Homo-oligomer: A and B are copies of this chain.
Amino acid sequence: MSQEFFSEVQGRIPTAAAASSETLAFKAYDPDRLVLGKRMEDWLRISVAYWHSFAWDGRDMFGSGTLGRPWQDPSLEPMAAARAKMAVAFEFIEKLGVPFYCFHDADVAPPGSSFREFRANLDALVDDALGYQERTGARLLWGTANLFSDPRYQAGAATNPDPAVFAYAAAQVANMLAVTKRLDGANYVLWGGREGYDSLLNTDLRREGQQLARFLHLVAEEKHRIGFEGTLLLEPKPMEPTKYQYDHTVAVVHGFLALHGLESEYKINIEANHATLAGHSFHHEIAYAAAHGLLGSIDANRGDPQNGWDTDQFPNSAEELVLPIYELLQSGGLGSGGFNFDAKLRRQSIDPTDLFHAHIGGIDTLARALIAAGKLVEEGTLARLKAERYADWEGPLGREIAARATLASLTGRVEEGELDPKPRSGRQELYENVVNDALWGP
């Protein structure tokens, strides 16, 4: 394998500060630019995803791999291949100039022939990763265990009808929690890709819910036991590969946490394409999480509005991101979270450099949205209009209702004609213009 895989890119991609008009340069992303007094890099905390960018070969359900990555040559010895992959991954992260990356255990380590061997493989590769982290300055945004690809997980991990599968998943998570701690990861994510059902006919919904809750309790206990300081995150998705996934949406996960006494242990990792698959806007999911203190981290990508599966495309709409980022700014930012590009190249984008085009476009999109959202916060019109709309809830009637009214006491006042409310304009189009003027204005 050649020394550099991305040979068309020499050195680091210029930031927007360089004002280059080349295609291989950021147009809007400037890590040091201040938005509301904080560096862009520190707001966005951009992360590259190992799986899509280095572990996927371009296959889809109707065709085989197209990407032609040399480290995926099946004739390579597995650990040598894994090391070649890691070298390319850090070459990319370093040239792109972003601070974070993420991975599943199985993205990095060959399975071997036993759990023990898998663990040894992973440990050896984590040694390498520590070295790369040191040399490049890249950090781990989050770690996670792949509990969905191996056939043993075909009917779920924690929610499997076979308790031995629960145990196997437990071992994998315990191991990956330790790895994440060792790599100083900022968060640990659980995506329950097969924690759901293909058919209700063979599924005991109540029991599987209890299994899932039990698993989440055990994970939280293990986190405390080993002293991992990062945040535990759940990632909702409504379906695919299952017909129905239990961690359906932010609201459903919120309710589940409440019902099982887990609210203080988990926050949420929200993916744009998962929101839209669930019939929600990404803005809705972010707003719900922000309103309820659940906002953990973000999987930045986009779906195709005309296709009903997870297309995991790179974000390219600043318009769609400005309001989610506005919510995020209003709620103080992502804390230990970040924007991870859980996005993959189109299957036809087979040139190595396409991976740069994809990430540059996605990052510039985030940067544009961040700048506009910052303007909305500074300018304050949106917040003022909304506060005015609800102002009467701070008045005498609003306070009375909140504190001590009863249906009967309110009925009396309506009956007397004392309360006979007239509709007020919701002014939605005006609000929309405020946003667009910030986004498109000078």
Contact = CB atoms under 8 A, between A and B. Distances in A.
Contact of A251 (B252, B414, B419): B252
Nearest to A278: B279
Contacts of A38: none
B306 A309 contact: no
Interface string A238-255: 111101100011011011
A127 B201 CA distance: 44
Interface stretch (A75-83, A179-187, A340-348): A340-348
A65 B430 CA distance: 21
B149 A64 contact: yes
A304 interface: yes
Interface stretch (A41-49, A129-137, A361-369): A361-369
A interface SS class:
helix
A195 to B, nearest CB: 12
A259 interface: yes
A189 interface: no
Contacts of A434: 23
Contacts of A207: 390, 393
A203 to B, nearest CB: 8
A144 to B, nearest CB: 14
Contact of A63 (B151, B201, B365): B151
A323 B168 contact: no
A101 interface: no
A200 B284 contact: yes
Given A151-B423, A306-B281, A420-B168, A407 B173 contact: yes
Interface stretch (A87-95, A264-272, A351-359): A351-359
